Each structure stands twice: as C-alpha cells, then as structure tokens.
Amino acid sequence: MGGSRAEQGSVLADLLTRVRYEVIPTPSIEEKVLAAVPRHLTVTVTASSTKGLDATLALTERLQSHGYRTVPHLSARLISDEIHLAEVVDRMRRAGVEDVFVPAGDADPPAGRYDAALPVLTELTNAGRPFRQVGITGYPESHPAIGDDLTVQAMWDKRVHAGYIVSNLCFDPAALAAWIARIRRRGVILPVQLGIAGPVETAELLATAIKIGVGESTRFLTAHTSWFARLACPGGYSPERLLRRTARLLAAPGSGVTGLHVFTFNQVAEAERWRQRQLDELGGRSVAHAGSARSGR
C-alpha cells in the first residue's frame, strides 16, 4: 500500500527538501523572497490579467539574477500571438530560465488568439522545446468552469508537450487519491508536483488578494470561496495535517508525486519556517542542508 510509518515519514521529508514556492508579483515580494527563501529552492511566479505578463517576466528575471531557479507562469490567455510568444521565450532564455509553467489563465477576454494552454504548448514543441521542463495544471477537485472529464482529457492531450503536472489546491486527501488513480488509469504518467497551501494568516491573505487588483481579487474570491473558508477558519486547515493524511498516497508505488508546490500567498517567511519545523520533526534537516550544500549556495 503506502509503506510503513517510517517509510512515509522518509517520503515526506524528501518532498519537503524539494518544495517550490509560488509567489504573486507584488512590489514587496522580491525582498521577502530574498530574506526568507534559500537559494536552492525553486520559486514560481504567477501571472494575472490585472498586472499583465510583464510583471511576471520582470520578477522572474530579478529572482534569476539573485541565483534562484525561477519558473514563470506563462498564462496562455495573456499571450497575444506567435510573435509575442517568441519574444517571451527569447526573454526568458536570456534570463537563464529552464522551466516554465503553462496554464490557460483567466484573462477574459484573452489578449489574443490563445484561449487555452494546449495551443501555446504546441507552439513551444514546434519551436524545438526551448525549455528543459514545461509544467501543466491538474485539478484534483472540480474546476469552477470546466468539467472533470474535460480536465483529465486535457492532461492527456497536453502530456506529450509537458514534463510534469502541478496539482491545483486541494484540501481532501480522498479526492487527491482518487484523482491520481484516475489520471494514472487514463495513462497520464507525468510526475506530479502536489499543490498545497502553506500556513497563512487570514489578514495577510486578504491583504495579498487586495494587492493583486480589486477586480481580479473579487473574481478570485468568488471562484474559490471554499478555499478561503478553509484557510481562514481557525483550526480548519494546516498543511502538515494534510500531508500526514496524504502520506500513504505519497509513499505508494506508482503515485508519481515528486515534489510539493506550495501556494504561499506571498507569506514566504511563514512557509519556510513551517518547512524547517516539519523537517526538524521528521529528522530531515540534514537532508535539507545537504541539498543546500549541493547547490553551492
């Protein structure tokens, strides 16, 4: 099944050494990342219709210059055409980016001819796969606008263009297990970065939502009311409880979960303190330090 308790703890410790911190490009986030996030960890940068793709690319360039492995979100609906895409690719390659994440995004209407991720992924493949890694989105719980069958089919369609899946936020271990089993039965064998919310303070969460733009925040909060209810409810959510309840799944042969994608909502210091506490409790601090030493930073 999922191994012994010791084996499950070892798997969790290993995953905690390979986290990705997702951040939103706000004015203060660069300083927060520099102050809290070790250079050997990966940082991913979201894209929004309010700020536009340039904010994502600019923050990616700056974090790359500081020595981080940075993954920009190239939202398809923010890319106007093939020329714009080629410019984005060239800019990111010059910055040293080797990994990109390609969601559809929620810009409405789209900036140009791309209304979904697949056409952009196809263009990247046709251009000779300019990035070493390309990630796509998975939805363990229902997407507010897309049926479950369509989301699984979309992963099947996109699998030849991608190297991994990032699962969207999910708070239900049973739903995670069912989703992973379903995509594996469908023949989607890409490794999964398990998306989890980091430890968040409600006031900071709402402040971040306001910073990303009033209109976009309203749409986000409306579309994800259950997320915010679970995150904001005292005692309602903790990332370590979710990981403990998911440990058997993560340790099971064939699950293909290879890392954690932490939605920080820009609370990166809190997320990193939480990660180090979990490693201490699991006896994994030496592993984390070894990873840092290997990075040369």
Report pLDDT for 286.
38
pLDDT at 241 (0 to 100): 87
pTM of the full predicted structure? 0.85
Confidence class of residue 232 from pLDDT cuts 50, 70 and 90? low
Average pLDDT, the chain: 84
Q: 3.20.20.220, 2.30.33.40, 1.10.10.370, 3.30.930.10: which CATH number matches 5-295? A: 3.20.20.220
Does residue 217 carry a pLDDT above 60?
A: no
Per-residue confidence band for 41, with pLDDT thresholds at 50, 70 and 90: very high
Residue 152 is which amino acid? V
Indicate whether 250 pLDDT > 60.
Answer: yes
pLDDT of residue 88: 98
Tens digits of per-residue pLDDT, 148-206?
556 667 777 898 999 999 998 888 888 898 889 888 888 889 999 999 988 877 666 66
Share of the chain above pLDDT 90, in %: 52
Mean pLDDT of 255-277: 94
Report pLDDT for 223. 56
Q: Is the peptide bond before 130 cis (omega within 30 degrees of 0)?
A: no
